[in-house]
Amino acid sequence: MGVRGLQTFIEKDCSEACKYVSIKQLADKHRHVFNCEPAVVVDGMSMMNRLYTNTSLEWIYGGQWQQFFDELKNFIQCFKDIGVKLIFFFDGTVCALKRDEWVRRRLSKAETVVNIFKIIRKSKTQPDKALFQLPTSMGLLARFAIKELGADVYQTDRDADDVIAEYAFKHQEVFAILSQDSDFIIYNTKMYLSLSHLNIDTLQTIHYDRQYFAEHYLQLYVKQLPLFACLAGNDFIPFDKLRQFHRSISNQQRIYLSTIAENLCRIIRNECWTGDLNNRHELDHISRFVFGNNRFSNLIYEGLKSYMFGNSGPPPSVCISVNPNMEKAVYEKHSNCFNSPYIFNLLCKLEYESSEVLEDDSRLPTALVYREIRQRCYGVLFNQFLNPKSHEKMHTKDENSVIVKEWCAYKGNLLKSPEFIKPLPLNAYPFTENKNTILSIEDLWFKCTEIEKLKLFWSLLQLPMEFHLLTTLPRDHIVLASILNYLIGGLQIGPLLKPFEVAVFITQALWKSTSEELKQLLAPSVDAVAVNLSTLFMRGVTTVLMVLNICDFPFPMTHAMPWRFFDGKLFHYLHNKAKLRPSIQDLCKNEDKKIKDFYNLLSYVISNTVYDFHNMDWKTIFPDFEYPL
């Protein structure tokens, strides 16, 4: 996040504080001075935007996952080639004090999504880059891609900006932060390098010189930058709360940082404000001057504190009673990206959150499509998973004792408050032969066998597919088949996919195209239905990942990653093809092995659903369909 308008301001109005530098030269100098392997801390979310906007990847189709994986691999290798270690950090939670800003951004981006679909329906093309949205689940899954590539990657137990700035400050081997977040101009930490201006071929970019910016342009000390940020508007003191003050010092209705910076800094100097968060008298004075009363002095305090190191306090503790090994595992799995952040936030904060995605109002929001799966996950996490009606031994816990706060951005939800969601029990007992044993989440993580974990996975998803079929699927196809089987037969409202759409999802997974082949694939005409379907599927991937986390991975995480079974551009291409000329032969490139694999995988996907071979005639969808023996 950061200070609104600061990046634009410093680049346009303070250009001498923006200096082009060679990362290799900076690294060589650091290596020579400190005699260590030089390292750069990378802001993970900023890097996602950089990779998508500065490469040939189209963003509208739902994610070119194989291409993205290879772009990421190349990014890491370029730094390895000059002897620089990259250390990636991703947000693992939203700070409670930043929730208002998080909500504001979700609602703003939801309006952007509406405009995107208007353009798609009118032009059938990818909208302008000004409307760019990261493909669904990119921010979450990128951290696991980095881990698979062998680089250091962490997710935080507080705001990632704080952790990045403090880690860089404290570690001698780190010589720079690579990001596109203006807060790193404010923190008094290592040098801040621009990701958006990074030339990956030359490894040259812009260095935002905070000292030059503070002393030469603002005529402030570096230590006063946090106060400047708070009074200019940041994640703690939103721009809207400062609007009246800004208008009073600029005499303009439309406020930009460039129109208030000079007068704001003059006030700070004239009033002799230091920005010392421990000086309550000064904070009260600032609050009265800016807001007309003392009510906001604590908000200013929190804003200033957010830029200081060592003031973050202890991490949130696990909110249920667990043994020390379990609590340690929760933190370690979270920090080292062995689990998605969902598990940490649920166990420590009783919260779940999801941002807006590329979906319109023509379908049930994906946040609601997968909610019942999440509710069953909550039941297992908090040991309330057994339906008393399904077993003679009733659970001793009150089923209403745990309520999860869900912050899910979707059309119709204004996010004025969280939705309070109860856990759901499982319909069948999925664990051991001893039916008198009720296993806790600790048992699942430390004692269960792979087959027991897989049985729980099947039970949490409530798949129509028989369990013995799931166990015989190739590992790279378990997640794909599970999502499709659920979307056809796992919801009371009926199938969310048409038969030809199911076939397209299957065939795109069987193409096994290389990045180069996918890059050469002509960009298909953009179809709003296909955009929605890609989002629906990718939200399924992250939901299944959450289920796998809870089951402690009955099979390795790498098999759950979409670069093994989904490509949004290819899906779009085949979806368009199937609408015009529905042919299994054509979808499978007239290759015998692909055709054979298609029928085999289809039989799993439609098992025990209305699309089962026994329940519908697939020849009405594909004239060349041949029923497997």
Q: Tell me the pLDDT tens digit for each residue of 348-360.
A: 999 999 999 999 9
pLDDT at 431: 56
Six token digits for residue 471: 């166990």
Show the CA angle centred on residue 221, arms to residues 220 and 225, nearest 5°.
80
Q: Dump pLDDT digits (tens) for 77-99.
A: 999 999 999 999 999 888 887 88
Backbone dihedral angles phi then psi of residue 396, each to the nearest 5 degrees: -80, -20
- Cross-strand pairs, 89: 43, 154
pLDDT at 131: 92
Q: What sign for the dihedral angle of Cα 147, 150, 154, 160?
A: negative
pLDDT at 386: 55
Six token digits for residue 351: 């919260």
Quickly state the pLDDT bin for 57 (edges 50, 70, 90).
confident
Does residue 411 register a pLDDT over 80? Answer: yes
pLDDT at 252: 77
Alpha carbons 217 and 528: distance in angstroms, whole number: 47
Average pLDDT of 472-489?
98
Alpha carbons 50 and 71: distance in angstroms, whole number: 11
pLDDT at 483: 98
Alpha carbons 574 and 436: distance in angstroms, whole number: 50
Does residue 332 register a pLDDT over 60? Answer: yes
Q: Dump pLDDT digits (tens) for 235-287.
A: 888 788 898 999 999 877 788 898 999 999 999 999 999 999 999 999 999 99
Q: Give the chain's largest Cα–Cα span.
A: 86
Least confident of 11-20, 398-407, 487-496: 398-407
pLDDT at 437: 57
Does residue 220 register a pLDDT over 80? Answer: yes
Q: Dump pLDDT digits (tens) for 509-545.
A: 999 999 999 999 998 999 999 999 999 999 999 999 9
Q: Dump pLDDT digits (tens) for 143-191.
A: 999 999 999 999 999 888 999 999 999 999 999 999 999 999 999 999 9
Edge-to-edge strand order for the sheet containing 404-408? 351-354, 404-408, 419-421
Alpha carbons 220 and 272: distance in angstroms, whole number: 11
Average pLDDT of 11-40?
96
Quickly state the pLDDT bin for 368 (edges 50, 70, 90).
very high
pLDDT at 523: 87
Six token digits for residue 373: 């799966």
Average pLDDT of 18-24?
97
Quickly state the pLDDT bin for 472 (edges 50, 70, 90).
very high
Please, which residues have CB within 8 angstroms of residue 349's CB and are 6 or more apart in sequence? 93, 316, 319
CA distances 36 to 32, 82, 166, 174, Å, are 8, 14, 19, 10
pLDDT at 624: 95
Average pLDDT of 472-492?
97
**88 touches 142 (CB < 8 A):** no
Cα dihedral 59, 62, 67, 73, rounded to 10, equals 90
pLDDT at 392: 40
Chain centroid, CA 378 distance in Å: 20
Alpha carbons 147 and 87: distance in angstroms, whole number: 11
pLDDT at 390: 41
pLDDT at 434: 55
Query: By percentage, how much of the chain surpasses pLDDT 70?
Result: 95
Alpha carbons 359 and 376: distance in angstroms, whole number: 25
Which amino acid would we find at residue 277? Answer: L
